[in-house]
Structures are given as C-alpha cells and as structure tokens.
Amino acid sequence: MKRSLLKMADLSKADIDDLLNLAEQLKYERKNGIAHPYLAGKTLGMIFQKSSTRTRVSFEVGMYQLGGYALFLSARDLQIGRGEPVEDTARVLGRYVDAIMIRTFSQKEVEDLAKYSGVPVINGLTDYEHPCQVLADLMTIREYKGTLEGLKLCFIGDGNNVANSLIVGGLTVGMTVAVACPKNHLPHPDALEFAKNYPGKFILTEDVREAAKDSDVLYTDVWASMGMEDEAEQRRKEFQGYQINAEIEALAKPDAIVQHCLPAHREEEITTDVFERHANEIFDEAENRLHIQKAILVKLMS
Ligand code: CP
Ligand code: NVA
C-alpha cells in the first residue's frame, strides 16, 4: 500500500482486500472486548474545512480505540483559514503529528499536504473523492453478499465525489458498476477514463431503470453536496427522477441491498419507505466507517 490514501486509484485490489480483512478482524475484536492498541503513543491531526458527523466521530473514536490520540482541527480556527499556505501548514504539522486526515474542497490541497508534510495523509472527503466512505461501502457489501466480484452496483444521482470513488473502487474489486445521472452532472473525467480499462463492466446512462435492473446494490447520495448550497434549488429540479424509490427497488434483484453514505434527504434522492426498509444496511455502512478507518490508520501509521 502507498504511504497515503488520497484517492481510490491509489489502491490495488490486493490493498483493498487487505484493508477489508483487517477491518473485519478489528470489528470482531471490538465486538468481543479484545483490546488492540496498535497505535499507542501516535497522534492523528484531523483538518476539517467542511462539516462532518460520521467522519469526525469515527476517526476520533477509532484513534482512541487503537490507543492513540486524535486532534480535531477546524480550518476556521487554524491559520490556514487566514491564508497560511498549505505547504507551510503541512511542514509544521508533519513535525507534530504522525498522520493527517483532511476534509476539504480541492483535491490538490490534499495532494500538497501529502507532498509537504512528510507523514501519511488520508483523504476524508474532497470535491473529487471520498475513499474512506467507499471502502466502508465495500466492506458492508462484502458482509451482506459474501463476495464483491461479479456483483452489479448501481449508483443513481449526482456524478459526485462518492460516485467517482465508487466507480474506481467497484471496478477495481471486480464489480460491474452502473451509473445513472443527468448528462450535465456526469462523474469526473478521471473516473470515466479509469472505467475505460474495464470494458463491459461500466455502464453510464441517463436511464435510471436501465442502471437499476438486476442490481445487487442500489446506491445514492445527495443531489447537492457540501459547498453547493446556492445551487440546491436548481439541482432539485434537474435531479427529479434520479431517486431510489419502490419502483426502482423492484427492478433490482429481490435480495438487493441499499446503501447511502449519509446524510440522506428523504423524498429527494431516496424515499422514506425504501430508506427505512434498508435502514439496517445503511447504518451498518455508517458503523463500518469506524472499522475500515481503523484498518487504514493501522496500515499507514504502524
Ligand atoms: N458520510 C460521511 O462522510 O458523513 P459525514 O459528512 O457526517 O462525515
Ligand atoms: N457528496 C456528499 C457526501 C457527504 C458525505 C458531499 O460531498 O456533501
């Protein structure tokens, strides 16, 4: 595995398998009261330029369970919020902490942090990707289905950060990935370019039904991501129909699971009835953020 986790393309299939196996072991140990202080004495700095419930709490709790310490660093309070260059912030933090997790807007900021800090950096969400989320999703899907290879994953909605990571991650582990999104909200060109390496395994369509048909996993995310608040009203119009509802659910396989990275906007990208029918799967997915991120921390920091 590389020194940092900046995007899904940093991971090979073997890397993902290793992370999922370690996460499964850590989850088992946690449930059975077996302590695993692999990161005793280590410190993680966590920079947040955007809001978070799951990412913040799961990284902080995860570091604690591993015997280490996590510092929450709001960008509003850091000098970075007053214009201190990221390369200087990186060089300073690299002298204090053993690894950095960052949630921000630009992918370049994360790449620069990794370049200048000299310590492992974890992407906790950018406008480009959300790799920790998608690793938790793959872990959850494997728990429910027993395997990943050969499954059909259908993503409906905005071709956003989560979609980009799902395309790369899903294809890497041997899934067929079908994405239904409006034509002016396509996934990032890099993700589409990556998909060209998997002929016959990637479907991009405006037709939600075609994408959902015979799926093993139905996945959606908000129509307006963080930072798009001003466009939310306009997007509500553009994304009409790009919704997981009972009709779409019926097109998937009878034992299909539904995933949502959360937070969810009920009656927008997913209806309340479908969400509640699949709530266990969705909250297992949220729980697995903790276990997979602990695996990432152990792999990068010990
Ligand atoms: N899914 C996710 O990353 O949630 P938060 O924004 O609450 O961290
Ligand atoms: N696409 C969403 C994911 C939130 C976890 C966003 O970026 O806001």
Residues 91 and 202 in one domain: no
- Do 202 and 159 share a domain, yes or no? yes
How buried is 121 (Cβ within 10 angstroms: 0-12 exposed, 13-18 middle, 19+ buried)? buried
Any domain includes 178: yes
Say yes or no: 78 and 189 in one domain: no
**Active-site residue flag, 82:** no
pLDDT at 176: 99
- Render 107-164 in DSSP notation, one character per residue: HHHHHHHHHHH-S-EEE---SS--HHHHHHHHHHHHHHHS--TT-EEEEES---HHHH
Mean pLDDT of 217-221: 99
Which CATH number belongs to the domain containing residue 28 in this structure? 3.40.50.1370
Cα-Cα-Cα-Cα dihedral sign, residues 191, 193, 196, 200:
positive
Average of pLDDT values for 264-273?
A: 98
Interatomic CA distance for residues 194 and 91, integer angstroms: 32
Catalytic residue among 56, 259, 261, 293: 261
Q: How far is the CA of 59 from the centre of ligand 1 (A)?
A: 11
* Catalytic residue list contains 133: yes
Specify the pLDDT at position 195. 98
Residues 270 and 296 in one domain: no
Q: In what order do the strands lie in the sheet with 99-103?
A: 69-74, 43-48, 99-103, 121-123
Tell me what pLDDT residue 168 has.
99
Mean pLDDT to the nearest integer, 107-113: 98
Mean pLDDT of 155-166: 99
> What's the gap in Å between 221 CA and the centre of ligand 1?
11
If asked whether residues 218 and 160 sit together in one domain, one would say yes
Å from CA of 107 to ligand 2 middle: 14
Residue nearest to atom 6 of ligand 2 (CA): 225
When pLDDT is cut at 50, 70 and 90, the band that residue 1 belongs to is very high
Residue 242 belongs to a domain: yes
Bridge partners of 266, per DSSP, are 270
Q: What was the pLDDT predicted at 148?
A: 98
Give the residues surrounding ligand 1 with Cβ less than 6 Å away.
52-55, 125, 133, 261-262
For residues 179-186, give the mean pLDDT: 98
- Specify if 1 maps to a domain: no
Mean pLDDT of the chain: 98
- Tokens coding 128: 């480009």
Q: Calculate how far, in angstroms, residue 125's C-alpha sits from the geometric centre of ligand 1.
A: 8
Q: Residue 239: its pLDDT value, please?
A: 98
Q: What integer is the mean pLDDT of 257-285?
A: 98
With respect to residue 3, please indicate whether it lies within any of the assigned structural domains. no
- When pLDDT is cut at 50, 70 and 90, the band that residue 284 belongs to is very high
| Residue 205 DSSP one-character state | E
216 in active site? no
Structure token digits, residue 283 = 């909250």
Q: Once rounded to an integer, what is the mean pLDDT over residues 55-76?
A: 97
Coil, strand, or helix at residue 244? strand
Distance CA 73, CA 122 (A): 14
What number of other Cβ atoms are within 10 A of residue 116's Cβ?
18
* Number of the ligand 1 atom closest to the C-alpha atom of 103: 8
For the stretch 161-173, pLDDT in tens is: 999 999 999 999 9
Q: How many domains does the chain have?
A: 2
Across 273-282, average pLDDT? 98
Residue 36 known to be catalytic:
no
Strands of the sheet containing 152-156, edge to edge, are 202-205, 176-180, 152-156, 217-220, 257-260
Beta strands in the chain (DSSP E): 43-48, 69-74, 99-103, 121-123, 152-156, 176-180, 202-205, 217-220, 257-260
Ligand 2 centre distance from Cα of residue 226 (Å): 6
Which ligand does the CA of 282 lie closest to?
1
Give the model's pLDDT for residue 57. Answer: 98
Q: Write the pLDDT tens digit of every residue in 220-256.
A: 999 999 999 999 999 999 999 999 999 999 999 999 9
Determine the pLDDT at residue 205: 98
Q: Looking at the CA of 164, name the nearest ligand.
A: 2
Cβ 12 vs Cβ 36: under 8 Å: no
Residue 288 pLDDT class (50, 70, 90 cuts): very high
Q: Are 43 and 96 in contact (CB under 8 A)?
A: yes
Residue-level pLDDT at 216: 99
Q: Note the pLDDT tens digit of each residue in 141-154.
A: 999 999 999 999 99
Determine the pLDDT at residue 290.
99
Confidence of residue 127 (pLDDT cuts 50, 70, 90): very high
Residue 90: CB partners within 8 Å, gap ≥ 6?
100, 112, 113, 115, 116, 117
Q: How far is CA 159 from CA 180, 221, 242, 256, in A?
A: 8, 9, 11, 22
Q: Is 56 a catalytic residue?
A: no
**Alpha-carbon Rg for the chain in angstroms:** 19
Q: What pLDDT score does 187 carry?
A: 99
Q: Where in the sequence is the domain holding 27, given as residue range(s)?
A: 8-130+289-301
Q: Does residue 27 lie in a domain region? A: yes
Ligand nearest to the CA of 48: 1
pTM above 0.95, yes or no: yes
- Within a domain: residue 203? yes
Residues 277 and 178 in one domain: yes
Q: Which atom of ligand 1 is nearest to the CA of 51?
A: 6
Number of Cβ atoms within 10 Å of the Cβ of 143: 16
Q: Assess if residue 2 is contained within a domain.
A: no
For residues 121-138, give the mean pLDDT.
99
